[in-house]
Chain A
Amino acid sequence: MFVAGLDAPSPQSPIDAAPTRLPDPFTLLTARLREALLSQRKVSIWQPDKNKSFQVLLVDKDIRFPPRKIGPQDDSQHAVPHSPLSPLTPSSPLYPDGLIAPIWIRKHTTLVPSVFVLFLRLFEFPLHNLRSPLDAPDPDREKDREQEERKRDGELASYVASRKKSTNERNMKLTVVLMASRRMLDDPALDARLTFIRKQSGLDARAALFVLSPVSSSELGDFVQSLQQALYEPAVEYYTSHSKRVRRKRNRHTQAVSSYSNPLSPVGHPGTIRPLRPEGWTVRYEYKMACFAEFRGEDEVALKHYQDAYEVLAVMFGSMSILPPRTKRWAEAKVLADCINIKITKLYLYNNEHSLALSHHTTHIRKFGDLSRGWGIGEETFEYWSWVARQYRILAELLEQGTHSTLSLPSHRPVAYNTALYTSTAQNPSSSRGSTPALETDALRSLGLNPSYALQHPGFYYYMAARCTEMRRERFLIALDAEGVSNSPGFANEKKVDHLVIILELYTKSYELFKKYTPSSQGQSQARLTLWIAYRIGQTYFDSGKFDMAIRFFERIAKTYRRENWDPMLRPLLTTWYACVQQLGDVELSVRLLIEMLGHGVDESEEPETLQDDLLAVLKSTVPSSPDEPFIIDLSGSQPIFDSNVVFWTHEVKVGQPVAFQVSITAPSDVAICELPFMSLSIRFSDDTLPLVLLQHSGAEIDEPSKVTHINLGHISKTGTDVPPTLKTNLRWKQDSTLVLSGTFSSEVPTTLKIEELLLTLTEGTWNIQIPMDPCSYRHKILPTSKWLASLKPLKFINVKRENSSSMIVRHRSHNVLLSLTHHSPACIDEVYPISIEVTNADNRELEVTMDILLQPTEVDDAVNSITLDDEQSSGLIKGISFGVLMPGVSSIKTLNLFNTGGAGDRMIDISIQSRVSSRDDPKEDLSKSDMEDVSEILQTLTVPTVKALKVTYDVAYRRHLDERLGLADLRRFEEDFWDDGEAGEALVTLRLECAGPWALELQKVTLERQNNDGAKVLETSTDMFDEADFSSEYVPGDEFSGLCRISLQGGEQYIPGPGTYLVQWCRIHDDGTRGSTSTSVFPLPSLRLPTDGLVGLLQISPVARLHQALPLTLRICNNHPTRSATCTVHVEPDPSDGFVIAGLRSGRVPILLPGTEEKILWNLIPIECGYIKLPKIKVVDHRKLIINVQGIGESEVEGQAVKIVDVRLDRRRESVIAESNETEQEGGKNTRPPDPENDSEEIWGTVLVLP
């Protein structure tokens, strides 16, 4: 867009400089407009965004556009006029066969606009001051004004019309912006005036006339926006029409290509003027269309046209006849190709098609590289490399520009990469990726990518450009040596180029970009890539002779390379560094570097003596800066010169014991150091109390040609008296030769001994160089197996395959303390179990002994165990039991008592005996450091199996009550101490104690401690009948003791806790007959369970009778049912075989029995036989309707049911209880078996013994 009429006010103008207080609003408006318009669109390389903004150029109002077409003046019959830039115009620079010139682009970017905006002032009649508002408007004045306005508007319109004519010629849009004051906008006459002006000037109806009054800058911005909005379409149209025109021409051209062989060239001049070939025209038109498309912002179209142009151009290059190499047109075309290439690349990148962009670029380089070979500027020429470097540089610059704004670089890490993808892509490519929109690209990515098309950050391309420039320089230097083609203009040009400056510039740019793109991993950013570039920069500085700069780079780089052990890379770096230092004359640094380089060795191509000779030469020819102080070269972190190793014969020794060691120092095999004047070697130990061992050099020649030299250092100890005062040896190492130093040393305190440092001193003239060395360091980091020199002749080594063979531990001697434990296993429950602990000092030192005992928690349930020693009792740990100071040979005994309850099982006791050397003799000596204290410890774990001494079994039998029950309403029932045993009866509990353990026991006392409760009371017990003396009897394992007790039960509760506890006092009888301590075991009575029955008959009869004497038989029918009453009938069924004559009720009905009542029926029996006579049969039937579900038949009612009759003489309902030791009562309940109902239902009547 051209904008005219916004000339900056010229300050020189005297009119403008007139003293006006306020700046003219229009001047201000103009200035603001200029500002706003110019800021619309900056021309830059990277402009992917497409907003409707214009590139604005401010021009003069009366600017003249370059001539559109000029007809050939001389030849008027050629009616077709051509553009002055056309190859068809003889005056054109392209005449006759040029393709397109940069001036064409310039024409369209700066000389010919698509839109022309003209800013003009609308005439405004000067405002005259109205004297008063009441004044009638002056008609004369109005008339004047109208006339003046009309005249001025007419002038304006005609001016615009003239401009319109010139723009119309070129199909440009002309837009006029009239600037008028705000007052004018409100003037009703304005519309008419505007219409007049537009009609007069012939402006378009649409978007061609604007009126603007002085407004604020923000409003101005809006105006500029809307102006552009309105003009965008015409501008696009303008370029579209251009495109159309060009396309028409191209089409015409391609159709006419056959007849277009040579229309312009006269027959007489073949070859002199060769017009542009059809291919050339195609390139020209495609290029133009591409440019126009780009102006329109249609990137895809532009890309297409550029590609077409590029392709045709490539075809042209392919043919020598179309574009003869090394001509002017050829060079132009080459530049054009490069330009198109970069345009294509850029357009691809706009579209984020990174790989296509890079692919095009690489293809371009390759294609033209191939072509270059044909043109004789192949890879061996500097021209080629200069060109490639330029291509890379352009790409890098483009990318850099792009990344500054919108371009984002792709990451090449494998996306969504997993093994599942492998399998799934084969069968179903879409399944694994789900709903990823970029399915296509993703599928491609999963397959892999083409590394040459993987776009990287611009640093890489700068790097490439630098590398290419290096190649260019190389080729140039070769050419310079040859000097054969010095007359060629290209070579002369090349001579003026300072390659190194370019290389440096490129590398520096690359370095900065690499630095920028270095992953900012927090913590340690190694930035090895930048280091590498830095190395190249350093190298370039070195090449260009800026050694001080180079050194700074090398110093930094070497640090990382050393740390990460990249020695092969370090060696060339050191060599260059050394070369720099040599140039700078820094002697000390040279020496330092040379010594470091000794460690790295030399290349195979070089002589092994090179470094040594260099070093010696430096040392001999120079003096150190401070000759008095030794010059220390610390090689830590870099490769050592020697392979050195320290081997100790044993890993561990006791205090005061000597230990043998060997230090081996092996010279490198690939570099010679035999001339280096090492004067001494000193060995420093980690223990500061040990003296420094110093070895002096003696010139004595070693007579034997052995590779190994052995020196004995003697014994080294704190006093150091054994060390020979001056040890001398030959300190010149031949290649691969070894010096072995052996010796012994000892320590008086426990410590870890190793050799801290070897220090080599190198003396030459005033130089005194000290090289400290790690005693265990290897060149190339190979860890050899440690070897012990066994003998020199023949040479024999023993491999020491121990870890940490280069350090050794000195320990105290362990104390000889004996611990013995005496006890009689197994222990019994409830027993105090003595364990005697005997500690004997078998050492020859006085020892102070203390003991800790830990009783480990046992897994046995409910076991409460404790240990007692002296006065201390604990269920866990007893600490710090002192045995005092034991003299040598003295022993001390303590008895530990273990008390166990609960179940049987193992009990574990940890015993720890600590002994320390009694420091009586030197109490002031500070032994506070725990590692220095001479303490040793014995640990022993004791397992005590624990068994039960007594096994307990209870038998419980229940009997029904024999006495008559009290009636329900009997007053005695309500007395306080009434014991209602009528329902429940009594229980007989039999205790059986069995001596279970492996030990014989002595039972001292068995008593039943009564614990009567509401449900039960002990009536009598058999144990009460014995005196204590009666118990004193020995029970060997398997022997049993029995006791019986009778317990009366009271009805009501189902379960009754046992009403007493058996206390058993016993002691162990040892094998030798002695008795152990008395223990008491507690066995509670089992809990009792009341048997219940409903209606029952109890038969009472004397077991013995006299013949013919009446014997009473009583049957009590008790209704123990809690709720039901009972109606019973009694039947005696005499049998002729009965041995009795029965007197009494034969058959009868018993009164109704309420719950809890009983009825007694009496018979008299007279025995008529002797012997055991069976009782007659008596039946009691409960007349109660009972519904029995008879199988198959259904329900049937049975009248009456037999009531069980129990012979009370045989009334036992048994249960057996195996009481565990220390059982709680609840458990006792659990273990009891309930009375067996099967046995219960059986009616067993006893017999009666009838005696004569």
Chain B
Amino acid sequence: MAPIRIHAVAYISANNHPVLIRSFIDNGNALKYHYIAHTALDVIEERVNEAKHPYLGLLYSIDDVAVYAYMTPLNLKIVLALALADAVVPDIKVHTIFKAFHMAYYHAVSNPFLDLDPANPVPLNSPKWKFFTRQLDEICAVVGAGV
């Protein structure tokens, strides 16, 4: 099966503020993923009412990406933009990716030296996230390699 290419991942806090939006494709068009993450919230809100599982599945596909979402028990939302390819994307695989991203975040915020306001976590570009973003890049690389 063709490897899944991740275009971007977005972490959105429980009160819908962006936490971190990281785009892995290298044309600096992160703004587009801001829009995608933001609009994804619409569908997430709709799905969350019914779903009991954290994995919310495909939200929509637009332009060249398919947007998936995942919601942690603490209502942190993770939005994933995958490259749109002509292949079936197995839910189990996406779910695994989400779990990896969730764990990365979990480990990052578990850092006792990271002083966080839980209602309003430190947003992106903070140097505090350096390790975290590196981990995200690693996950992306691993997924992209088709493992």
Interface residues of A, Cβ cutoff 8 Å to B: 362-363, 366, 412-414, 417-419, 422, 444, 446-452, 454, 456, 460, 463-464, 467, 518-519, 521, 526-529, 531-532, 535, 561, 564-566, 568-569, 572, 780-783, 785
Q: Which of these, B16, B46, B56, B86, contacts A452 with CB under 8 Å?
A: B86
Q: Which residue of A lies closest to B48 (CB)?
A: A521
- The answer to whether A456 and B61 touch across the interface, beta carbons within 8 angstroms, is yes
Instruction: List the B side residues contacting A521 at CB < 8 Å.
Output: 45-46, 49
Q: How many residues of B contact A (CB 8 A)?
A: 49
A-B contact pairs, 28 of them (CB 8 A): A366-B86, A412-B58, A413-B50, A414-B51, A414-B56, A414-B57, A417-B53, A417-B57, A446-B91, A448-B92, A448-B93, A450-B87, A452-B86, A454-B58, A460-B60, A463-B62, A464-B62, A518-B42, A519-B42, A519-B43, A519-B46, A526-B41, A535-B35, A564-B38, A565-B18, A569-B31, A782-B126, A783-B122
* Contact flags B14-52 to A (C-beta < 8 A → 1, else 0): 001110010000000011001100110111011101110
The contact of B82 among A451, A454, A781, by CB within 8 Å, is A451
Closest residue of chain B to A801 (Cβ to Cβ) is B115
| Contact for A451 among B49, B61, B120, B125, CB less than 8 A | B61
What 10 pairs between A and B have smallest CB-CB spacing? A451-B66, A519-B46, A448-B90, A414-B57, A448-B91, A565-B17, A451-B61, A529-B39, A412-B58, A450-B88
Provide the bound-state CA to CA distance between A566 and B90, in Å.
31
Residues of A within 8 A of B45 (CB): 519, 521, 526
Known: A526-B42, A527-B42. A454 touches B34 (CB 8 A): no
Residues of B within 8 A of A527 (CB): 42
Given contacts A456-B61, A528-B42, A566-B38, contact A451 B92 (CB under 8 A): no
Neighbour of B84 across the interface among A451, A467, A568, A782, CB < 8 A: A451
Given known contacts A519-B46, A569-B31, what 17 new A-B pairs fall within 8 Å (CB)?
A412-B59, A448-B90, A448-B91, A449-B88, A451-B61, A452-B84, A452-B85, A452-B86, A456-B61, A528-B42, A529-B43, A531-B39, A566-B38, A568-B34, A780-B125, A781-B120, A783-B120
Question: Does A454 lie within 8 Å of B61, measured CB to CB?
Answer: yes
Chain B window 103-133, contacts with chain A (Cβ cutoff 8 Å), 1 for yes, 0 for no = 0000000000001010010110110000000
The residue from B16, B43, B55 contacting A417, defined by CB atoms under 8 A apart: B55
Which A residue sits closest to B52, measured CB to CB?
A418
Tell me whether A529 and B56 are in contact (CB under 8 A).
Answer: no
Query: In the bound complex, how far is the Cα of B21 from the Cα of A565, in angstroms?
Result: 13
Q: B89 contacts A449, CB within 8 Å?
A: yes
Closest residue on chain B to residue A452 by CB atoms = B84
Would you give the shortest CB distance from B18 to chain A, in whole angstroms? 6
* Given A528-B38, A568-B34, A569-B35; A448-B55 close (CB under 8 Å): no
CA distance A533 to B36 in the complex (A): 11
Which of the residues A451, A566, A569 comes within 8 Å of B58, measured between beta carbons? A451
Q: Determine whether the beta carbon of B53 is less than 8 Å from that of A418.
A: yes
B90: chain A residues within 8 A (beta carbon): 447-448
Q: Which residue of A lies closest to B84 (CB)?
A: A452
Q: Is B94 an interface residue (CB 8 A)?
A: yes
Question: CA of A454 to CA of B91 in the docked complex: distance in angstroms?
Answer: 14
Interface residues of chain B, those whose CB is within 8 Å of chain A, are 16-18, 21, 30-31, 34-35, 38-39, 41-43, 45-47, 49-51, 53, 55-63, 66, 82, 84-94, 115, 117, 120, 122-123, 125-126
A362–B126 Cα distance when bound, in Å, is: 41
Query: When chains A and B are docked, how far (Å) is the Cα of A448 from the Cα of B47?
Result: 17
Cα distance A836–B102 when bound, in Å?
64
Are A448 and B88 touching (Cβ within 8 A)? yes
Judge whether A447 and B91 touch: CB under 8 Å: yes
**Contact present for A447 and B88 (CB under 8 Å):** yes
| Chain B residues whose C-beta falls within 8 Å of the C-beta of A363 in the assembled complex | 86
Nearest CB on A from B31, distance (A): 6
Q: Are B38 and A450 in contact (CB under 8 A)?
A: no
**Which residues of the other chain, B, contact A464 by a CB distance below 8 angstroms?**
62-63
Residues on A with beta carbons closer than 8 Å to the beta carbon of B42: 518-519, 526-529
B115's nearest neighbour on chain A, judged by CB, is A785
Cβ distance A516 to chain B, nearest Cβ, rounded Å? 13
B38/A569 in contact, CB under 8 A: yes
Within 8 Å CB of A569, what residues of B? 31, 34-35, 38
Q: Establish whether residues A414 and B38, one from each chain, have CB atoms under 8 Å apart when the complex forms.
A: no
Q: Given A456-B60, A566-B34, are A781 and B123 neighbors across the interface (CB < 8 Å)?
A: yes
Contacts of A535 in B (CB 8 A): 35
Q: Which residue of B lies closest to A366 (CB)?
A: B86
Q: What is the distance, in angstroms, from B104's C-beta to the closest C-beta of chain A?
A: 21
User: When chains A and B are docked, how far (Å) is the Cα of A464 from the Cα of B65?
Assistant: 12
Contact B53 A450 (CB under 8 A): no
A414 adjacent to B39 (CB under 8 Å): no
B51 and A413 contacting across the interface, CB-CB below 8 Å: yes
By beta carbon, the residue of chain A nearest B21 is A568
Q: Which residues of A contact B60 (CB under 8 A)?
A: 412, 454, 456, 460
Q: Which of B85, B88, B90 has the most CB of A within 10 A?
A: B88
Closest A residue to B90 by beta carbon equals A448
Q: Is the CB of B58 within 8 A of A449?
A: yes
Alpha-carbon gap, A362 to B16, bound state (A): 33
Interface-central residue, B42, B50, B56, by most chain A CB under 10 Å = B42
Contact check: which of B39, B55, B57, B85 meets A532 at CB < 8 Å? B39
In the bound complex, how far is the Cα of B90 from the Cα of A444, in angstroms? 9
Q: Are B17 and A413 in contact (CB under 8 A)?
A: no
Nearest residue in A to B15 (C-beta to C-beta)?
A564
Which residue of A366, A417, A467 is within 8 Å of B91 (Cβ)?
A: A417
| Given contacts A413-B56, A528-B41, A566-B34, A362 and B91 within 8 Å (CB-CB) | no
Q: Quick one: closest B residue to A457, CB to CB?
A: B60
Q: Which residues of B have CB within 8 Å of A452? A: 61, 66, 84-86
Contact, CB under 8 Å: A572 / B46: no
Residues of A within 8 A of B51 (CB): 413-414
Name the distance in Å between A559's Cβ and chain B's nearest Cβ: 14
Q: What is the CA–CA distance of A446 and B86 in the complex, to the nearest angstrom?
A: 18
In whole angstroms, what is the CA distance A137 to B55 when docked? Answer: 93
A contact residues around B56 at 8 Å (CB): 413-414
Q: Within the assembled complex, what's the spacing in Å between the Cα atoms of A463 and B82?
A: 19
Q: Is the CB of B17 within 8 A of A448?
A: no
Closest to A426 in B: B92
Chain A residue numbers with a CB within 8 Å of B47 are: 413
- Chain A residues with Cβ under 8 A from B82's Cβ? 451
Question: Which residue on B lies nearest to A415, using beta carbons?
Answer: B57
A564 engages B88 (CB within 8 Å): no
Q: Return chain A residues, CB-CB under 8 Å to B92.
A: 422, 447-448
The distance in angstroms between the C-alpha atoms of A785 and B122, with both chains bound, is 12
Chain A residues within an 8 Å CB radius of B35? 532, 535, 569
Beta-carbon nearest neighbor of B63 in chain A: A467
User: Which residues of A lie under 8 Å from residue B39 when comparing CB positions?
Assistant: 528-529, 531-532
Distance A498 CA – B24 CA, assembled complex (angstroms):
36
Nearest CB to that of B65 among chain A residues? Answer: A451
> Given A414-B55, A452-B66, A532-B35, is A782 in contact with B46 using a C-beta cutoff of 8 Å?
no
- Across the interface, do A782 and B66 meet the contact criterion of CB distance under 8 Å? no
Decide yes or no: A781 and B17 within 8 Å by CB, A413-B56, A566-B34, A568-B30 being known contacts: yes
A1125 → chain B, closest Cβ, in Å?
87
The reply to whether B126 and A572 form a contact with Cβ atoms under 8 Å apart is: no
Q: State the CA gap A573–B73 with chains docked (Å).
A: 33
Residue from the set A418, A448, A569 with the largest chain B CB neighbour count within 10 Å: A448
Chain A residue nearest to B85 (CB atoms) is A452
Question: Could you tell me the distance in whole angstroms from the C-beta of A263 to the nearest C-beta in chain B?
Answer: 42
Contact A564:B16 (CB < 8 A) given known A529-B39, A782-B126: yes
Chain B residues with Cβ under 8 A from A414's Cβ?
51, 53, 55-57, 91
A414–B98 Cα gap in the complex (Å)?
15
Q: Which residues of A contact B31 (CB under 8 A)?
A: 568-569, 572
- In whole angstroms, how far apart are the Cα atoms of A419 and B53 in the complex? 9
Complex: A572 Cα to B47 Cα, angstroms:
30
Highest count of chain A CB atoms <10 Å: which of B41, B49, B60: B60
Residue among A450, A518, A527 having the largest count of chain B Cβ atoms under 10 Å: A450
Q: How far is the CA of A444 from the CA of B35 in the complex (A)?
A: 31
